[in-house]
Amino acid sequence: MHKLENIAEGIRQHFDVRTSKRDEALKRARQLTRACSLAIRAVHRDDREAMDTSLAEAQSLADQLREELKQYPDLFYAGYTQDSLKEFVEANVTCALIQSQPLQTPEELGVEDATYLNGLAEVVGELRRRTLDILRSGYSQEAERLLGHMDEIYSVLVTMDYPDAITNGLRRQTDLARSIIEKTRGDVTFSLRGEHLTEAIRNLSSQLNGNQAEAEDEGSLSLPINEDD
């Protein structure tokens, strides 16, 4: 039994180390998620400096997370870790597309393919948010550009017809993306039609004012001359 106690003590030590690593990973994952949220908020506010600062912080935290869990793959592939890395992908892709910058690959971001695709799917929601902000000031080509990126993302996601065990539930995210894109397309179309209607009313009003001015000029020219004067 003395030997069994030694075995148990060894197991407890291993568990202590793993628990410590898990707690540290949870803390790092929360920090990473927060940095990514700040980067996305900054890009929506067109605050380039804050965006770059938050993205740099997120990159550092993601690197630390990978390094600290290098010897603990089960912790690295745990839900909370991959969720934070998914947010990392979402932040980088969202900022790149809004700023018209090149996209980074999964290898450059240091994430798994499934994590990259799930992060890509969530970018659609952020692009809708950006599009609606733009449409508040009226229709613009920028809204069309972002809608084009949303369509392109969906066109890629819909081709990933693999089991959820491989893609980490990508199919559901793809369905959500399609719904968001359809709503956004309707908003852009409505805004465009409103723009056309406003322009038509403006042209008609200008034409009517012109016709009225011409009529007044013709009326003044046709007034009878008073011979007694």
137 & 165 share domain: yes
Q: How many CB atoms lie within 10 A of CB 181?
A: 18
In a domain, 220, yes or no: no
53 & 134 share domain: no
CB 188 within 8 A of CB 131: yes
177 & 129 share domain: yes
CB 55 within 8 A of CB 92: yes
pLDDT at 221: 52
Instruction: Give the whole-angstrom CA distance, residue 208 versus residue 4.
Output: 99
Tokens representing 32 are 């990473």
CB 114 within 8 A of CB 170: yes
Instruction: Give the whole-angstrom CA distance, residue 148 versus residue 150.
Output: 5
Instruction: Give the whole-angstrom CA distance, residue 110 versus residue 68.
Output: 14
122 & 48 share domain: no
pLDDT tens series, the chain, 229 aa: 668 888 888 899 999 988 999 999 999 999 999 999 999 999 999 999 999 999 999 999 999 999 999 888 888 888 889 999 999 999 999 999 999 999 999 999 999 999 999 999 999 999 999 999 988 887 778 889 999 999 999 999 999 999 998 999 999 999 999 999 999 998 888 776 555 445 555 554 565 565 555 555 665 555 555 555 4
138 & 58 share domain: no
In a domain, 98, yes or no: yes
Instruction: Give the whole-angstrom CA distance, residue 124 versus residue 154.
Output: 8
Number of domains the chain contains: 2
Count how many residues are written for the chain: 229
pLDDT at 163: 93
Report field, pTM of the whole predicted structure over 0.85: no
* Domain extent for 162: 112-209
pLDDT at 1: 62
Instruction: Give the whole-angstrom CA distance, residue 116 versus residue 120.
Output: 6
Q: How many CB atoms lie within 10 A of CB 175?
A: 13
DSSP state of 169: S
Query: Helix, strand, coil proportions of the chain in percent (round to 5)?
Result: 80, 0, 20
Instruction: Give the whole-angstrom CA distance, residue 30 versus residue 20.
Output: 16
Question: Residue 136's domain is classified under what CATH number?
Answer: 1.20.58.2140
Q: How many CB atoms lie within 10 A of CB 172?
A: 12
Instruction: Give the whole-angstrom CA distance, residue 194 versus residue 137.
Output: 12
Q: What is the DSSP string of 36-98?
A: HHHHHHHHHTT-HHHHHHHHHHHHHHHHHHHHHTTT-HHHHTSHHHHHHHHHHHHHHHHHHHH
In a domain, 22, yes or no: yes
In a domain, 94, yes or no: yes
Instruction: Give the whole-angstrom CA distance, residue 35 versus residue 44.
Output: 15
What amino acid is encoded at 102 in this protein?
Answer: P
